[in-house]
Amino acid sequence: MTVREAYERGSEVLAKSGIEEAQLDAWYLLEFVTGMSRAVYFADADRKMAEEKEAQYAALIKKRSKRIPLQHLTGVQEFMGLEFQVNEHVLIPRQDTEVLVETALDFLKQRGGKNMEILDLCTGSGCILLSLLFHAQQERREGSVSGVGADISGDALKVAKENGKRLGIDAIWKQGDLFEALGTTEEVRSETYRFDLIVSNPPYIRSDVIETLKPEVRDHDPYLALDGKEDGLFFYRRIIEASASYLKDGGWLMFEIGSDQGDAVSGMMQAAGFQSVSVKKDLAGLDRVVSGMYDKCEGF
């Protein structure tokens, strides 16, 4: 079988399986197996494909046709220009989440050369925190930026740690339920942990909606990373209520949100006393990020 025939057959199998971007996914898997660029493919697509490569490609196409996510087959996903390892223990990084990182980077730029400390709750693969640390250090001439990533899942933290190691980025990783990962009440009172910026992409899908999601998400993303409980706002409430104990005066809290949650989350933050609360849209024009400033003189 030639490379062209393998690719065309792979595209056909995926299309029949109901995969929207069948040709693109078939191409990514071909590129993953052969290392062939598009330029080489178009110049030499009729070369015979090695039998072992053909078998490997066919096996991956079969798995993808069963709606196993492409990223679980290749083991990687690009995010903010960086490559992150992913598996079944972490949410696959999505382009929508880059809006949160870009919003946070704008805040860090405004703080100039000050040393900055970041907390990423529900860190998963670590893509948000590691992207912030990487790009902030690239763009800032003065002042250090350090970060803590927290997650309830030990398996997710293994992925985050490995991503930090592969990217050469130092971060502290803590396991526990939201702020509980940071330690005891006494440690908090002594201000062991006070942050300039807290970011989070918490679980925000309503429990009754999860069954309606695409199979790639419903069956393969970790349930813990999806389930926002009855109304999807469970974790926003908990984080907002506790955040005053962990933010420095003038620090910011930033969330990724579901596209229909902008009013609810911004309202909760305003009610809790956050200042300059705003909602930012993604490239599709949908509400995607809510942010606000902690002022200890205002309502806390």
What pLDDT sits at residue 40?
Answer: 87
131 and 32 fall within a common domain: no
For 14-66, what is each residue's pLDDT tens digit?
999 999 999 999 999 999 999 988 888 888 888 899 999 999 999 999 999 99
129 and 231 fall within a common domain: yes
Q: The sheet that has 172-175: what strands, in order across it? A: 172-175, 145-151, 116-121, 195-200, 247-256, 287-293, 275-281
Exposure on the CB side of residue 79, measured as CA atoms within 13 A: 29
How far is residue 84 from each of residues 2, 92, 200, measured CA to CA in Å? 32, 9, 18
First to last CA, the chain: 68
For 145-188, what is each residue's pLDDT tens digit?
999 999 999 999 999 999 999 999 999 999 999 999 998 666 65
What pLDDT sits at residue 263?
Answer: 96
Amino acid code (one letter) for 258:
G
Which of 16, 31, 66 finishes a domain?
Answer: 66
92 and 23 fall within a common domain: no
CA separation for the pair 27, 146 (Å, rounded): 38
166 and 258 fall within a common domain: yes
Amino acid code (one letter) for 226:
L
- CATH number, domain containing residue 265: 3.40.50.150
Q: Considering the chain, what is the average pLDDT of its residues?
A: 93
235 and 98 fall within a common domain: yes
173 and 201 fall within a common domain: yes
What pLDDT sits at residue 144?
Answer: 85
Is there a domain that residue 73 lies in?
Answer: no
Which structural domain, as residue segments, surrounds residue 99? 78-293
242 and 146 fall within a common domain: yes
The DSSP call for residue 205 is: B
Q: Would you call 112 helix, strand, or coil by DSSP? A: coil
Domain tally, the chain: 2
Q: CB-based contacts of 106: which residues, under 8 Å, 6+ apart?
A: none
For 85-124, what is each residue's pLDDT tens digit?
999 999 999 999 999 999 999 999 888 778 899 999 999 9
Amino acid code (one letter) for 158:
K
Q: Which two tokens stand for residue 128?
A: 């948000």
CA separation for the pair 18, 200 (Å, rounded): 33
| pTM of the model as a whole | 0.91
158 and 28 fall within a common domain: no
Q: Which two tokens stand for residue 142?
A: 């003065």
Is there a domain that residue 299 lies in?
Answer: no
CA separation for the pair 175, 182 (Å, rounded): 8
